[in-house]
Amino acid sequence: MPKKINDLEQRIYFLLKNEPFFASISRRITKSVNNNIKTAQVSYNIKSQTFVLEYNPTFFSTIEDTFACGILKHEMYHILLNHLSSRISFEKTSKTKIKFWNIACDLAINSFLRNELPEHCLIPGKGPFKHFALYKSAEFYYDILVKEERSYQDIEINNNHDSWSIGEHSEYDSQIQESKEKEMFNEGIENASKYGWGSLKSDFKEKNILLKKYNNDRIEWKSILNHFVQEAIKAEYKSSIRKINRRYPYIYAGKRTIRSPKIAISVDQSGSMSEDLVETIFEELIKLNKFCEFTYIPFDCIVQEQEIKHFERAELSKNSSPLFRVFSGGTDLNVSSEYVNKRNFSGHIIITDLYGICTTASRCKRLWITMDYCSNISFNNKFKEVILKINKSYSKEEL
């Protein structure tokens, strides 16, 4: 008997109840109705920095629970296996290659879900892909499709995944997207380890592949910080035909400096802050100081202006690094942003434990850095900004 059109939430609840791994992933994805698509699709919205699952309620009303859950899992796998971020490198290639990449991604996922999907889905070992082996990567299937292009160019797909990336990606945006994909994946593994593996329990091949990816997948927080600084620096340069382009002289316009790039480093002085965290971050900032100027701003419930220190390029060092605590007290996350907004900064990095709320918008790009054990605190991320979480065993370099 067909289900009611609006019962997808009940199916998602069923998924959450019986699949701890996918439950953790689903909670971090925004759900949205879209009657213009055939089935369902996931995308990453650069502006809001969130993953979105769009679905056609009419389609879901006509299929049974097993297939509905299988399709939901399928879409989540696109995020977990980094298919959305991998698609970026294909954007400027031919339509045929993009189509083959979409098919390859579906084949890689559907190896795990071959008994949970409708007949029209692309599955290794069935139909035109009957000689394809199971449990291979998207890259593996893609190489075969390209080599045998004539045999597969007429295959139709229900979803061309055009929405996988909404908006133009900068290198910094790509880094943030990949970090969020990996963070979701790691949380799913940890949730399954505590509460059970659900349907994955019986599929040891799938579980082992996921665990291997979990053990090898680490997020370089230093890379995210580096890209943030580089993006802030770029904001202070503008194209000018009066400047010669060093790489392509007289072909492209050069760059002229609007002002010297300056980045504010606000450090929470509350007693719950980890001094080891601050020291670890400043070790990396010392390396980045050669590209721009830094201003150290200590704060708790106020900004202690007499303790503010400015560092010219290449001036910050271990000996000059302001690692001492100048005062302590309650935390007001607005005061440092209010101070920075009144001055000309290219970017703002706030190192804090997130014990507080922030209602002040930033006039420049803002990055929050905290410890991983603060990840569950209900910080009011009103402006959908990046929160970089560093593992307490700092040498692991994980978010």
Tokens of 373: 């054990």
Answer yes or no: do 135 and 261 share one domain: no
Which range among 95-109, 183-197, 374-388 has the greatest average pLDDT? 95-109
Task: Provide Rg for the chain, Cα atoms.
Answer: 24
Whether residue 396 has pLDDT greater than 80: no
Tally of structural domains, the chain: 2
Domain contains 31:
yes
Q: Tokens 């991320």 identify what position?
A: 381
Average pLDDT over residues 110-132: 88
Confirm whether 1 is domain-assigned: no
Do residues 255 and 208 share a domain? no
Tell me what the mean pLDDT of segment 26-35 comes to: 89
HSE, side-chain direction, 13 A CA sphere, residue 290: 3
Residue 3 falls inside a structural domain: no
pTM (two decimals)? 0.61
- 210 lies in the same domain as 227: no
Residue 138 in any domain: the answer is yes
Task: Say yes or no: 225 and 309 in one domain.
Answer: yes
Interatomic CA distance for residues 330 and 167, integer angstroms: 39
Residue 264: phi and psi, rounded to 5, are -85, 135
- Locate 210 and state its tokens: 């996921």
User: Could you say which of 154, 189, 216 is where a domain stops?
Assistant: 216
The CATH number for 284's domain is: 3.40.50
Taking CA atoms, 32 is separated from 36, 60, 185, 286, 350, in Å, by 12, 13, 22, 44, 33
The string of pLDDT tens digits covering residues 70-114 is: 999 999 988 888 888 765 455 546 778 888 888 999 999 998 888
Distance in angstroms between the alpha carbons of the first and the last residue of the chain: 46
Question: Does 226 lie in the same domain as 328?
Answer: yes
User: Are 197 and 240 in a shared domain?
Assistant: no
In this structure, of 23-37, 60-74, 84-98, the range with the lowest mean pLDDT score is 84-98
**What pLDDT does residue 132 have?**
92
Long-range contacts of 324-327 (CB under 8 A, 24+ apart): 325/269, 325/275, 326/269, 326/298, 327/269, 327/298, 327/300
C-alpha span between 84 and 177 (Å, rounded): 9
Instruction: Give the bridge partners for 40, in sequence order.
Output: 55
* Helix, strand or coil, per DSSP, at residue 367: strand
Does residue 161 share a domain with residue 18? yes
User: Tokens 């970026």 map to which residue?
Assistant: 88
pLDDT at 3: 46
User: For the ranges 28-37, 207-216, 242-251, 376-385, which has the lowest average pLDDT?
Assistant: 207-216
Asked which of 216, 243, 262 is the last residue of a domain, the reply is: 216
Domain of residue 130, residue span: 8-216
DSSP calls for 36-70? TSSSEEEEEETTTTEEEEEE-HHHHTTS-HHHHHH
Q: Phi then psi for 66, rounded to 5 degrees?
A: -60, -45
Q: In this predicted structure, what is the pLDDT of residue 110?
A: 92
Q: Is 331 exposed, middle or buried (0-12, 13-18, 19+ CB in 10 A)?
A: buried
Quick one: 102 and 180 in the same domain? yes
In this structure, are 329 and 357 located in the same domain? yes
Scanning 42-195, the segments in alpha helix (DSSP H) are: 57-60, 65-80, 83-86, 95-110, 138-147, 149-152, 171-195
Mean pLDDT of 119-147: 89
Among the candidates 196, 216, 236, a domain finishes at 216
Three-class DSSP labels, 308-357 = CEEECCCCCCCCCCCCCCCCCCCCCCCHHHHHHHCCCCCEEEEECCCCCC
In this prediction, residue 4 carries a pLDDT of 45
Q: Of 209-213, 275-279, 335-339, which has the strongest mean pLDDT? A: 335-339
Closest to 123 in 3D by CA, of 143, 139, 142, 103: 103
In a domain, 2, yes or no: no
For residue 29, count other CB atoms closer than 10 A to its CB.
18
User: Do 348 and 236 share a structural domain?
Assistant: yes
Q: Select from 310, 315, 314, 318 the least CA-distant residue to 280.
A: 318
d(CA 40, CA 106): 13
211 and 225, same domain (yes or no): no
Q: For residues 349 and 266, is the Cβ–Cβ distance under 8 A?
A: yes
Asked if 251 and 204 sit in the same domain, the reply is no
In a domain, 226, yes or no: yes
Q: Does residue 117 sit within a domain?
A: yes
In a domain, 227, yes or no: yes
